[in-house]
Structures are given as C-alpha cells and as structure tokens.
Amino acid sequence: MKRNLLLVSNSTLHGSGYLEHCQGDIKDFLGKEVKRVLFVPYALHDRDAYAKMARTKFNSLGYELDSIHEASDPVEAVRRAEGIFIGGGNTFRLLKCLYDNKLLPEIRKRVLEGGVPYLGSSAGTNVSTVSINTTNDMPIVCPPSLSAIGLVPFNINPHFLDPEPTSHHMGALREGSMLLVSGNRATLLGTSRARLFIRGKPTVEYEPGSDLSFLLEEGL
C-alpha cells in the first residue's frame, strides 16, 4: 500500500497563525517532489476566502496551491493532483460536498494506489478515516452516509478535550498533535499526547514519537 498521510488535529494552535505549528512537518511531509497542492475548502462556506488563506500559507512554504472549487471538473482535478490537502471546518458540510462531487472513491484511489500525499487538518483528518462518527461538529447538513474516505481503518477525534474531573462525560488527537502514516507505519508527531479508545479495553495515552503502526491492522 502506497499510503502517505499527515493527519493534523487542528489548523491553528492558540497563539500561532494558520498551520504555523505544523509548517515544518508539512514541508518534511510534502518534500521537494510535490510542486502543487490541490486544496479542498468544502468544510467552510466562504471557499474563496479559505482558498486565499491556504494559498498564501502554502506559497510561503514553497508550494503552489490550486483550489478544487475553482476547477471545472473536480474529479479530474483529483486525478491530476500531486498532493491533496483537505482543510478544517464543518465535517458534515465537507463530507456532503465530497459525496455530491463523487470524490470519495477518487481520493481513496489516488492516495492508496497512486501514492499521492494526503494532508488533512481537523475535518480533513476526520474524513480520512472510516467514518465521521467521532466528529465534534454540529450536523448542519445531512450527507448521504457518515462513511468517509477510509484511508486508515480507525476513526480519529480531532480537537480531543480531556473530561473535567467532576464530570461524568466519558468523551483522539489533542490539539497540537498529528499522525504521520507512511505505508504500514504510523507515528504520533507534534507536542501533545494522544488517547486511544478500544472497545472493552482501558484507554491508553501515547507520547509524541510513539509508534502506532498497530492501529493500521484491520480488525483491531
């Protein structure tokens, strides 16, 4: 499998600018072979403004950026992409637009079979997984299914918040963390720990730098 993913919990970390906290990781991830990145801004309503912000950032990192909402044929844009970046916003809006434009199988094929690098942030990380069942977002629209792209065989909860000690809420990727997936190897990056939930087992905390490749095993 040619899977090459960088799944970031959040686009903006408190006290820093857009993608600033992970810009070094993005450059390491995309490298020098990728010249242009295809941006998917469907998670926000104002796609023009979103694309402008993303383009400014990626230009500063040395990459050209094309926004899929400006393409006459979104499917063809995915088929030609050197790298794909799906940004954050509302996960339900994002997934519905991906379904509406028939992009889920195209993105999955390009990433898993074509080896195209996939960068996701927040909602973009959510839709890279099995389903969006673990999103924190409000269902402002109704996609035809909650099933997502399926680039990894598990779900992620970006922006994970630890429960208050006095609360009975039992609730992940905390803000400031990200998951780097290369083939069948997964590594936790960033500045925050991640918490793993498996049905019937105690939760486990993992430090940045941890090898989480076992998560990629089907039927975990």
The pLDDT confidence band at residue 114, using thresholds 50, 70 and 90, is very high
pLDDT tens-place string over residues 91-107? 999 999 999 999 999 99
Comparing 157 with 82, which gets the higher pLDDT? 82
Comparing 169 with 132, which gets the higher pLDDT? 132
Determine which one of 21, 159, 177, 192 is catalytic. Answer: 159
Active-site residue, 137 included: yes
Check whether 122 has a pLDDT greater than 80.
Answer: yes
Cα(150)–Cα(185) distance, integer angstroms: 16
pLDDT tens-place string over residues 3-17? 999 999 888 776 778
Architecture of domain 4-216: 3-Layer(aba) Sandwich (3.40)
Mean pLDDT in residue range 54-75: 98
Check whether 160 has a pLDDT greater than 70.
Answer: no
Q: What's the pLDDT at 167?
A: 43
| 3-state per-residue secondary structure call for the chain | CCCEEEEECCCCCCCCCCCHHHHHHHHHHHCCCCCEEEEECCCCCCHHHHHHHHHHHHHHCCCEEEEHHHCCCHHHHHHHCCCEEECCCCHHHHHHHHHHCCCHHHHHHHHHCCCCCEEEECHHHHCCCCECCCCCCCCCCCCCCCECCCCCCCCCCCCCCCCCCCCCCCCCECCCEEEEEECCEEEEEECCCEEECCCCCCCEEECCCCECHHHHCCCC
pLDDT, mean over the chain: 91
Q: What's the pLDDT at 58?
A: 97
Enumerate the domain spans of the chain. 4-216
Active-site residue, 159 included: yes
Determine which one of 9, 11, 67, 122 is catalytic. Answer: 122
Q: What's the pLDDT at 31?
A: 95
Q: What's the pLDDT at 185?
A: 96
Determine which one of 9, 137, 177, 192 is catalytic. Answer: 137
Angle at 157 between CA 156 and CA 158, to 5 degrees: 105
Q: What's the pLDDT at 219?
A: 61
pLDDT tens-place string over residues 185-199? 999 999 989 999 998
Mean pLDDT in residue range 130-139: 94
Cα(202)–Cα(194) distance, integer angstroms: 14
How distant, in Å, are the alpha carbons of 132, 154, 167, 191 from that of 163? 21, 22, 7, 19
Check whether 171 has a pLDDT greater than 50.
Answer: no
Q: What's the pLDDT at 168?
A: 41
Q: What's the pLDDT at 101?
A: 98
Active-site residue, 168 included: no
What's the whole-model pTM score? 0.91
Q: What's the pLDDT at 158?
A: 85
Mean pLDDT in residue range 171-187: 87
Check whether 170 has a pLDDT greater than 60.
Answer: no
